[in-house]
Structure 1
Amino acid sequence: MIRLGSEILKSELYFFFVVVACVKTLFVRRDHNFLVLFKNTCRYSLYTRTKLGYIFHKRQIKKARERYPAGHSKTQPTIINGIKIIPVPILLDNYSYVVIDTASNMAVVVDPADPQPVQACLEEEGVALQAVLCTHKHWDHSGGNRALKRRYGSCRVYGNAMDNIPGLTHPLSDKDTIDFGTRLHFRAFYTPGHTVGHVIYLLDGRAIGGPSSLFSGDLVFLSGCGRMFEGNASTMLSSLDTVGSLNDETLLWPGHEYAEDNLLFAAEVEPCNVVREQKLQWVLQQRGQRLCTCPSTLAEEKQYNPFLQCHSQDLHRALGLQQKQDEDWTSYRARVLEELRRRKDIYKDR
């Protein structure tokens, strides 16, 4: 088991002293970047540590339902030897996933932030919900946990206890296995960085004679990765390496529809990547019809996702980085990731 305690901000008192220290610093240095960082830190803390976050989440649900009554994207189920994976579009760009064993009518849901469309999918399929697999605490992934737990009395809620998952009933540690019947076998991997308790879920393909499926939450997207809200670049790199170690045929089911934006950013970093350009053209066609772009495969991601290429000398040259004489390889790759994430944040905010 991994020791997690040192990475967690356990106390509200801790947050209070951080804010006080930051306010004092504001009076000493009126630096614009620091002011922006301070504002974003306070906003994030309010979202994740107070009831205001859930109120904001409910408003986002209302806004999304008004804007996209039928969901932000048109999706189709993927069926692998009797296992049906249904992406459920929720909020403005999130995906929840309903995973069904059609032989037993057992169902598992991943990140049901808006319970209404998820419940509608379960009822349409006529299946029995066994559990919620929650990747992390952010309301746009966990906001429907309690509602589904109330609706389906025996429903279990899995996640990492370090992340204060709403409705959590079954805390998970790194590499824990979760079995539902004889064909739905999941393994949880502890992947901090986006949050301190972020986990991803791998549906084992061996039990069904097909590829495995990775439900990656906000760790990895098509050609992208999540922001490092609660971890540094070294922590995030270790989590990305976990993904990189999985079988190339693994299907990737991310938590957001970010494909177009991510590939456009990747084009700025690696303009000569032919595979990336081909994928971008396909994604533009899909999104032009509001069609879902997932899943991709890890084999694909390793070719055009810059956040999985921190070892690439081509990427190092594109970023203008060189390994320092006294810098070990892992530290250098973490520095590459940090610079890449910095550029993506600027790209996203401009």
Structure 2
Amino acid sequence: MCRKDCCVILCLNTSPPSPLSSQRTKHSEEPKTMKIVHVECLQDNYAYIIVNEVTGEAAAVDPVEADRVYWAAKQIGADLKIVLTTHHHWDHAGGNEEIKQLVPGIKVFGGSKDAVRGCTNSLENGDKLPLGPDMEILALHTPCHTKGHISYYVTSKGEDPAVFTGDTLFIAGCGKFFEGTADQMYQSLCVTLGSLPKPTRVYCGHEYTVKNLQFALTVEPDNEKTSQKLSWARGQREARQPTIPSTIDDEFQTNPFMRVDLPEIQAKVGCDSPVEALMKIRTMKDNWRG
């Protein structure tokens, strides 16, 4: 049964920005096309609704609690057309079959190398999907957490792009290496995602930011930007507000997993290559009990 009364919706475009994100790309004051709404799911998951404000066409990202996402879309007048699944884990793909029942004919996209439940259309790296006029979704293969993990890069004329990173890139962290290697995670984080424009807004799959920043300070205790962002993130959570989105620029300043190219980071963890440093920091995080 659909639980219309339990839907939790927050429009992230209006969330207070991180102190590091104040310098965004300046655009003209023409109306924006892209609206992004998040729906809290399970204990700490985020599903997202991406809306083309011109047509009302919308995509749901990882709608694990399909009824919540369905009613969220109804409340904002969005017309769900597609589902974008980042990877096959239940807490991301577990609502696909139900949303297909709620929205007959909806297309469910997922990576061709992942066994995504309910998938109707498989994606390869570089595939593009339109979402109404002036909006485009680009599939980026970002393997390691799972073999076929896909991040979705969304562009709209006249505004900063957004990327939906599932469990590959978290705010100040990254996913566990369940089905891949440190080299794959380095390519996914620092090359594929790291090559996106720095103002790109980052929407990840879980609210892990405070813990991730606390760990980041064990790697770089003298990183003032990380300390500032941790203070901000704690305030957000105390106010029951999200810490998302971040930006690619923010992550290069505060995320230890995306700073492994820096000699000072390699020196701090006793390594002399970025991939080795990434593996060392991942092991440190796995053993951390903060």
TM-score computed with the length of structure 2 as normaliser: 0.89
Q: Percent identity?
A: 36
Is 1:276 equivalent to 2:276 in the alignment?
A: no
Distance in 2 separating the partners of 1:75 and 1:261:
22
In the alignment, which of 141, 154, 158 is matched to residue 105 of structure 2? 154
In the alignment, which of 17, 20, 36 is matched to residue 85 of structure 1? 36
Tell me which residue corresponds to 2:25. Answer: none
Is 1:140 equivalent to 2:75 in the alignment?
A: no
Tell me which residue corresponds to 1:245. Answer: 195
Q: Classify the secondary structure of the residue corresponding to 1:197.
A: coil
Is 1:262 equivalent to 2:212 in the alignment?
A: yes
Q: Classify the secondary structure of the residue corresponding to 1:315.
A: helix
Is 1:310 equivalent to 2:260 in the alignment?
A: yes
Q: Counterpart amino acid of 2:235?
A: Q
Tell me which residue corresponds to 2:67. Answer: 116
Q: Counterpart amino acid of 1:163?
A: D
Q: How big is the shift at 1:342?
A: 0.2
Tell me which residue corresponds to 1:334. Answer: 275
In the TM superposition, 1:168-247 aligns within 5 A as 168-205=119-156, 208-240=157-189, 241-247=191-197
Distance 1:265 1:298, change over 3 A: same
Structure having the higher helix fraction is 1
Tell me which residue corresponds to 1:293. Answer: 243
Q: How big is the shift at 1:70?
A: 6.2
Whether the aligned pair in 1 keeps the contact of 2:7 and 2:72 (CA below 8 Å) is no
Is 1:163 equivalent to 2:114 in the alignment?
A: yes
CA RMSD of aligned residues (A): 1.6
Gaps of 5+ in 1: 1-64, 324-331
Whether the aligned pair in 2 keeps the contact of 1:161 and 1:168 (CA below 8 Å) is no
Q: How big is the shift at 1:214?
A: 0.4
Deviation by residue 1:48-77 (Cα, 9 ceiling, x = unmatched): xxxxxxxxxxxxxxxxx9xxx665xx7334
Q: Counterpart amino acid of 2:97?
A: R
Ranges of 4+ aligned residues in structure 1 off by more than 2 Å: 74-77
Whether the aligned pair in 2 keeps the contact of 1:190 and 1:200 (CA below 8 Å) is yes
Deviation by residue 1:72-97 (Cα, 9 ceiling, x = unmatched): xx733417713210011101101000
Whether the aligned pair in 2 keeps the contact of 1:224 and 1:305 (CA below 8 Å) is yes
Distance in 2 separating the partners of 1:104 and 1:225:
34
Whether the aligned pair in 2 keeps the contact of 1:283 and 1:293 (CA below 8 Å) is yes
Q: How big is the shift at 1:105?
A: 1.1
In the alignment, which of 67, 75, 79 is matched to residue 10 of structure 2? 75
Q: How big is the shift at 1:236?
A: 1.2
Whether the aligned pair in 1 keeps the contact of 2:7 and 2:69 (CA below 8 Å) is no
Distance in 1 separating the partners of 2:116 and 2:249:
31
Tell me which residue corresponds to 1:23. Answer: none
Q: Counterpart amino acid of 1:296?
A: S
Distance in 1 separating the partners of 2:255 and 2:59:
28
Q: Classify the secondary structure of the residue corresponding to 2:63.
A: coil
Gaps of 5+ in 2: 15-30
Q: How big is the shift at 1:103?
A: 1.5
Distance in 2 separating the partners of 1:107 and 1:237:
31
Structure having the higher strand fraction is 2
Tell me which residue corresponds to 1:38. Answer: none
Whether the aligned pair in 2 keeps the contact of 1:286 and 1:293 (CA below 8 Å) is yes
TM-score computed with the length of structure 1 as normaliser: 0.74
Q: Which has the higher contact order (CA 8 A, sep 6+)?
A: 2
Q: Classify the secondary structure of the residue corresponding to 2:222.
A: coil
Q: Counterpart amino acid of 2:144?
A: G
Q: How big is the shift at 1:183?
A: 2.5
Q: How big is the shift at 1:180?
A: 2.1
Distance in 2 separating the partners of 1:204 and 1:184:
6
Q: Classify the secondary structure of the residue corresponding to 1:162.
A: coil
Deviation by residue 1:201-259 (Cα, 9 ceiling, x = unmatched): 00013xx3111000000010110000000001111111112111110010000111010
Tell me which residue corresponds to 1:345. Answer: 286
Distance in 2 separating the partners of 1:257 and 1:318:
27
